[in-house]
Amino acid sequence: MDLGLRGKVALVVASSKGLGRAVAEELAIEGAGIAMCARGENDLNRARDEIARNHNADVIAIAGDVSKPDDTERIARAALEHFGRVDILVANAGGPPSAKFESITPEMWDKTVDQTLMSAINLTRILLPQMRERKWGRIINITSITVKQPVEGLMLSNSIRAAVTGFARTLANEVARDGITVNNILPGYTRTERVEQLAGAIAARDGISADNARAAWESEIPMGRLGEPHEFAALAAFLASERASYITGTSITVDGGWTKGLL
């Protein structure tokens, strides 16, 4: 299937590793130019070099922290300067720490809002006008299954990722007539460093091994296994494509059937 992404340009946030990297690579395979950003410059440059070499893609790396408005502005402007436009924004952020309500400080709430919610809002604010000018754009937010079925101990993620969902769903209606779609992808338990960290946190809290924590998740997943980043990235590429031009305002899980709700 030709997704019509050759020649398009994507800015993929938090793309040095994990789901963000998988999405950047999948879009590069489809022929898009890629602007990658992350806080860790060494990991970011390594990921850029590998994707560019393996897929003969035009890829740039911009180190920065999207929880900081000045960095967000610099990252978006650098992508626009190099490519002349950004057609696809993949807003992504590292997951906030596992914590219950009593242990969460005001500073932790503020950090999560800046990292998870305001980063998506600020990047959209900068990049949306030029999408509207061309009457074409794709905004994809990577959130979490926690917005459909809260996970115990993830108070920060359960709360703030739900705010991203409300922002995206409202924006989708405002920009639909401009040829711009806005969708959210909700990863379940996927084999990434983030999930390994969660397994370690649960193991420490409950006095079990990390292997046992992973096994408990797998027992709740109808497919009986964790997801792989490339499986998640395949949906991101489709939602970014010409083929997905009539899909907007949705929140789609990629979780092996873990979420138990009807919708």
> CA angle 26-262-96, nearest 5°?
55
Task: Give the model's confidence band at 159: pLDDT under 50 very low, under 70 low, under 90 confident, else very high.
Answer: very high
Task: Give the model's confidence band at 120: pLDDT under 50 very low, under 70 low, under 90 confident, else very high.
Answer: very high
In this prediction, residue 95 carries a pLDDT of 79
CATH superfamily of 9-190+228-254: NAD(P)-binding Rossmann-like Domain (3.40.50.720)
CA distance to 191, 193, 210, 237, per residue, from 213 (Å): 13, 14, 5, 31
pLDDT for 153 beyond 90: no
Contact 181, 135 (CB under 8 A): no
Distance, CA of 157 to CA of 146 (rounded, Å)? 7
Phi, psi of 172 (to 5 degrees): -55, -40
In this prediction, residue 212 carries a pLDDT of 83
In this prediction, residue 57 carries a pLDDT of 96
Task: Give the model's confidence band at 201: pLDDT under 50 very low, under 70 low, under 90 confident, else very high.
Answer: confident
Distance, CA of 80 to CA of 74 (rounded, Å)? 10
* Structure token pair of residue 215: 């096994």
Contact 239, 181 (CB under 8 A): yes
Phi, psi of 252 (to 5 degrees): -110, 125
Q: What is the DSSP letter of 176?
A: G
CA distance to 22, 103, 117, 158, per residue, from 15 (Å): 8, 30, 17, 22
pLDDT for 59 beyond 80: yes
In this prediction, residue 209 carries a pLDDT of 84
In this prediction, residue 220 carries a pLDDT of 92
pLDDT for 229 beyond 80: yes
Tell me the average pLDDT across 179-190: 96
In this prediction, residue 211 carries a pLDDT of 83
Domain residues of the chain, as ranges? 9-190+228-254, 191-226
Q: Give the total residue count for the chain.
A: 263
